[in-house]
Amino acid sequence: MSRRRILCFAFLLAGFGLVISSLAVNAQSTDRRGRKYKAPPPTARIEVTVVRDNSGKPIENAAVVFHPMEGERDKGNMELKTNDDGKTVIDVLPIGDIVRMQVIAKGFQTFGEDYKVDKAEMAIEIRMKRPGEQYSIYKKSEGAKDAAPKPDKPADSAKPTTPSQPPPK
């Protein structure tokens, strides 16, 4: 009989241990441990269309680089390529941020501009221009201006100047 009592006592003790351990697990609150969850800010959907300036035809495979700005500091960059229609879409930029957008396409001038992301949906059209002729000081061009204009008359600085009155003492 004593074995039977010891066995019952052992089962009772094991059951009591399980109840106590489950109460201890439930007593630990997850509210006070770890980081608190912070929901991400709402983001905007920005559709960028890249076209030729002269014909309005889309430019495919143009690189559209987004630089999210924090004050004057660049927080990194994200680069996307345009599709056959000259379009690309980004939807991870938070509303209220400023983004510096740069568009690079082979055979066109690089485009760059800062935009304020202030709406949930934005559509931006970029008209890319062909590169212009480089300015040279050795070649005359229509828009070129002389660095220093040549006077029509010789300068009067060669004549000695004499004061009309002697300086006061």
Q: Which pLDDT tens digit goes with each residue over 29-52?
A: 555 667 888 898 899 999 999 999
| Contact of 117 with 41, CB cutoff 8 Å | no
Considering its fold, how many domains does the chain have in total?
1
Residue 160 has pLDDT above 70, yes or no: no
Q: How confident is the model over 82-88, as a mean pLDDT?
A: 95
Q: Residue 112 sits in which domain range?
A: 43-128
The pTM for the full model equals 0.59
The span from the CA of 19 to the CA of 43, in Å, is 48
pLDDT digits (tens, 9 = 90+) for 118-127: 999 999 999 9
pLDDT-derived band of residue 143, with 50, 70 and 90 as boundaries? low
Residue 161 has pLDDT above 80, yes or no: no
pLDDT at residue 28 in the model: 56
Residue 144 has pLDDT above 50, yes or no: no
Q: Is residue 67 part of a domain?
A: yes
Q: Is residue 97 part of a domain?
A: yes
User: Where are the extended beta strands (E) located within the chain?
Assistant: 43-52, 63-70, 73-74, 78-81, 87-94, 98-104, 111-116, 121-128
pLDDT-derived band of residue 98, with 50, 70 and 90 as boundaries? very high
pLDDT at residue 137 in the model: 84
* CATH number where 86 lies: 2.60.40.10
Q: Is residue 146 part of a domain?
A: no
Residue 25 has pLDDT above 80, yes or no: no
Task: Please tell me which residue, 63 or 169, carries the higher pLDDT value.
Answer: 63
SS3 136: coil
The span from the CA of 91 to the CA of 120, in Å, is 9
Q: Is residue 3 part of a domain?
A: no
Residue 139, both tokens: 């070649």
